[in-house]
Amino acid sequence: MNQLKKLLSLFLLFTFCFLLFSPVTAKAAWRDPVRAQHAIVASQSPFAAKIGSDVMKKGGNAIDAAVAVAIAMAVTYPEAGNLGGGGFMLIRFSDGRTTSIDYREMAPKAANRDVFVDKDGNLIKGEGSSTVGYRASGVPGTPAGLEYAFKKYGSGKIKWTDLIEPSRLIAQNGFVLTNRLANLFISYKGNLEKYEDSKKIFLNNGNYFKEGDSLKQPELAQTLARIQQFGAKGFYEGKTAQMIADDMKAHNGLITLEDLKNYKVREREPLKGTYRGYPIITMPPPSSGGIVMLQTLAMLEKFDIRKMGWASSEKYHVLVEALRRSFADRAEYMGDPDFTTVPLTQLLDKTYLEKRAATINLSKASSSQEVRAGEVQIKEGMETTHFTVIDKNGTIVTNTYTINDLYGSGVTAKGTGVLLNDEMDDFAARPGKPNLFGLIQGEKNKVEPGKRPLSSMTPTIVLRKDGTPWFALGARGGPRIINAVLQTVINMIDHDMNIQQAIDAPRIHHQWLPDEIMWEPFGISDDTRKALESLGHKFTERPNYVAQATGIAIEEKTGVRLGAIDARGDGEAIGY
């Protein structure tokens, strides 16, 4: 309740300031980002941010810190931080080199196109579906991805065991629950109470936790100890793997020992684009977020967004129209590049996007039933968590990882303390039909053994025009992630906000289908809404928050590191 009051007060402040005061006065009323001279971690878990910052104080680099943060969030942010999921890590090194590490979950060998439909071709609901229970989980990639990053790009000054030990101790000894987390366990009891270990750990065997109680996770501490001793093999082979496989077999799950042993990390070349001359580095497929964002920004370059104004109906109209076209392309053309041809060059081609932008009518909304994917010649959830790190040398890591829905499939693999993902829902369980987040997905994202599901995660780094790093961010929130990152970029470049203002500012969401604008509480004026409705736009019946972003920036003249945590969630930016 206190968190809700905080958010409502903050958005009332935004609306009040923008309606009554000049832009200069309004910005002065907003909170400032956290400042640090050398290095900073912005994370939705204060425990994790402190652990990551301490790693860099001891001589570790941003990659070392990112590994420690991710492990810590698996303990202290269990609704999304994970060992039993996967994600994407985007890195820009201090010398300007870039890379991305894809540790997205993979479909088990037993999975197939029709694994989540019944004999009549209808989607299975409940247990056995792509969203709940043992069959909903893809093969986790987090332990392998973190080890890969550490071995290849770590500083060499910090030991693997030292990165894990703080989190192992927290899991073993417990940490004090906030009101938010204690209540969140209860909110998700419908799924968690179905599975023995989930009920025992997170619901206190039905004696629900309260604010101030201590959450101890001894089985997770033992799993971390095995990873500490044996590296990622301590998860994918040996005792932990055997417990996961045995629990899967006992409950008609899909993941086997062979699936775990055969998991592979992929290192990929990041996508690169520009917006109004500012270089942008972002995640390639199987993330759709980078492509959708770059497509949308390219279409918006045709319009004077700055002149339209930060929260005007004119700006929101062209933003929705560009998003409508980008998300239509997402459904048609995007998937795992190891399994299908994703026409990146054509989708990001300037001429193609100019043609798409030219179809935007400034006086009338399009219909998503009529807007389809553009003609490209092919020649060849709900929930995540994000953190961003910059070290004293200027290396940046922006990392998004997930178990998909909050608490994933609801299953904690027996004896491991590891919550498992429901990432199979990010495939097209039935191509052409909406998933958990209402997204329509096509044949390119159908279920296939060993394949990685399409994602909306959008870790992104933006440079200044001279090529020096400016800011980096990402978000949690299913397909809304794309809009949180996209509109933060627009707020920084077109509206001259700082990183904290740009992240906190109200935003909207549109994803082609369903054909409606999602709006935030106190985030849009009645006049603006009426103006958009007069153009033919439809709004969701109720407001909802459009993701939660986390980011860092570098002050241009001083080099000071700036950290920002979204007012829509919790967390902390900690540096030195």
- Joined together, the tokens standing for residue 475 give 């978000």
Separation of alpha carbons 110 and 423, rounded Å: 15
Give me the helix-helix angle, 238-250 and 218-230, nearest 10°: 130
SS3 311: coil
- Joined together, the tokens standing for residue 566 give 């979204």
Separation of alpha carbons 547 and 204, rounded Å: 29
DSSP state of 524: S
Cite the active site residues.
384
Residue 117: its pLDDT value, please?
Answer: 85
Residue 425: its pLDDT value, please?
Answer: 87
Contact 171, 218 (CB under 8 A): yes
Query: Cβ of 303: how many Cβ atoms within 10 Å?
Result: 20
Residue 17: its pLDDT value, please?
Answer: 42
Residue 373: its pLDDT value, please?
Answer: 52
Comma-separated ranges of CATH 3.60.20.40 domains in the chain: 2-19+271-362+456-575
The closest of 514, 572, 563, 570 to 545, measured between CA atoms, is 570
Helices (H), 350-498: 350-358, 480-493
The closest of 459, 473, 462 to 101, measured between CA atoms, is 459
| CA triple 558-562-563, angle to 5 deg | 170
Residue 119: its pLDDT value, please?
Answer: 84
Series of mean pLDDT values for 10-residue runs along the chain (576 residues): 46 41 42 96 97 98 98 97 98 98 97 86 85 95 98 98 98 97 96 97 98 98 98 98 98 97 98 98 96 98 97 97 94 91 94 96 87 46 84 98 94 98 84 56 82 95 98 95 97 98 97 93 95 97 95 97 95 97
DSSP E strand boundaries for 501-556: 548-554
C-alpha Rg value of the chain to the nearest Å: 22
Question: 190 Cβ partners below 8 Å, 6+ apart?
Answer: none
CATH class for domain 2-19+271-362+456-575? Answer: alpha beta
Contact 36, 527 (CB under 8 A): no
Helices (H), 252-309: 257-261, 289-300, 305-308
Residue 437: its pLDDT value, please?
Answer: 53
Residue 421: its pLDDT value, please?
Answer: 96
SS3 34: strand
Contact 149, 60 (CB under 8 A): no
DSSP E strand boundaries for 391-463: 396-404, 412-413, 418-419, 460-463
- Kind and range of the H or E element at 575? strand 572-575
Sheet arrangement for strand 460-463: 34-36, 561-565, 548-554, 469-476, 460-463, 278-282, 271-275
